[in-house]
Amino acid sequence: MRERAYAKINLALHVRSREPDGYHRIETLFAFCEDGDELEVAPADGLELHVEGPMRQDLSDETDNLVLRAARLLQPGGKGASLRLTKCLPIAAGLGGGSADAAAAMRLLNRFWALDLDSEKLTELAASLGADVPACIGSVTARGEGRGDRLQPVETGLGKMPVLLVNPRKAVSTAAVFRGWDGIDRGPLPDDWRAGRNDLEPIALAMVPEIGEVLERLKAQSGARLARMSGSGATCFALFESVVERDAAHDAIAAERPDWWQLATRLR
């Protein structure tokens, strides 16, 4: 049995207020790409996790991996599972990689252990693992409020639009970026998300100047409809009218910055 952990992007993200517990109330539009990490499960006596894939080395201690935390959350007495995670998404990148892994583990183990939890129950349980995990359960385009965990599916009309993701290989701490918010509410997420913003973009950009260069290069590509940072960065995305234009952009950026991470994908 396997599940894919779909890469998350925030098409827009507005920060509205800081709560007394330090978390922030946001309004965001989540979208998901058809590619990401892969998770497989096989029978075992206890719980075990093996990590492989190109981004494996950037993950520290495996015991606090979100996949195992998700598994422990659902594990019924006496059941085991051997999980294999193929880590393709960069870590601390604004793509919700760990959150997508946790959500994929919950969907997978719900089937593997025949727990029969509906997606509403999974989404509710997911909130204890992180703000992005509930959205990653369904992995469909949705408006998120509160911490990003109050969800409303929306139809954007974007379909399976081609997407290019670019990360300058600089990890960004989500907590540090939120701490940099100046407390100014710049207004709600508009109905037309294109007219929105990512309020975390200027904060992350001040911490990682390369984000400016990524955005500049994406915006300069022919056919790029919109380029914006995702989540707390540093990954930025651009939407393209055609696969040909997306792939041309990928090749042009790879030629100029072979050191950057890129993923040519589509919205799911």
Ligand X SMILES: C[C@](O)(CO)[C@H](O)COP(=O)(O)OP(=O)(O)OC[C@H]1O[C@@H](n2ccc(N)nc2=O)[C@H](O)[C@@H]1O
List residues forming the annotated binding site.
Answer: 90-100
Q: Is 150 helix (H, G, I), strand (E, B) or coil?
A: strand
Asked if 24 interacts with ligand X (CB under 6 A), we say yes
Q: Which of 36, 90, 130, 168 binds ligand X (CB under 6 A)?
A: 130
- List the interface residues with ligand X, window 141-170 (CB under 6 A): 147-148
Q: Distances in Å between the alpha carbon of 200 and those of 46, 55, 168, 234, 244?
A: 41, 24, 17, 10, 31
**Beta carbon nearer to ligand X, 234 or 249:** 234
Q: Are 7 and 96 in contact, with CB atoms under 8 Å apart? A: yes
How far apart (Å, rounded) are the C-alpha atoms in residues 39 and 51? 9
With CB under 6 A as the rule, give the number of residues binding ligand ATP. 19
Q: Which part of the chain contacts ligand X (CB under 6 A), choosing from 118-126, 129-137, 216-224, 249-257?
A: 129-137
In sequence order, what are the residues at sequence separation of 6 or more whose Cβ sits closer than 8 angstroms to the Cβ of residue 48? 80, 81, 82, 83
What residue 65 binds from ligand ATP, ligand X, none (CB within 5 to 8 A, per partner kind)?
ligand ATP
Q: Where is the binding site for ATP, in residues?
A: 90-100
Q: At how many degrees (to 10) do helices 210-220 and 243-256 cross?
A: 140
Q: Which part of the chain contacts ligand ATP (CB under 6 A), choosing from 15-23, 97-105, 133-141, 255-263?
A: 97-105
Binding to ligand X by CB under 6 A, coded x per residue (else -) over 47-86, reads ----------------------------------------
How far apart (Å, rounded) are the C-alpha atoms in residues 189 and 112? 38
- List the interface residues with ligand X, window 205-234 (CB under 6 A): 231-232
What residue 92 binds from ligand X, ligand ATP, none (CB within 5 to 8 A, per partner kind)?
ligand ATP
Catalytic residue list: 8, 132
Asked if 22 interacts with ligand X (CB under 6 A), we say yes
| Cα distance between the two ends of the chain | 21
- List the interface residues with ligand X, window 2-21 (CB under 6 A): 10, 13
Spatial strand order in the sheet of 261-266: 224-229, 236-240, 162-167, 261-266
Closest CA to 257 of 208, 204, 218: 218
Instruction: Please report, as ranges, the residues that interact with ligand X according to CB under 6 A.
Output: 10, 13, 22-24, 26, 28, 96, 99, 130-132, 147-148, 174-175, 178, 231-232
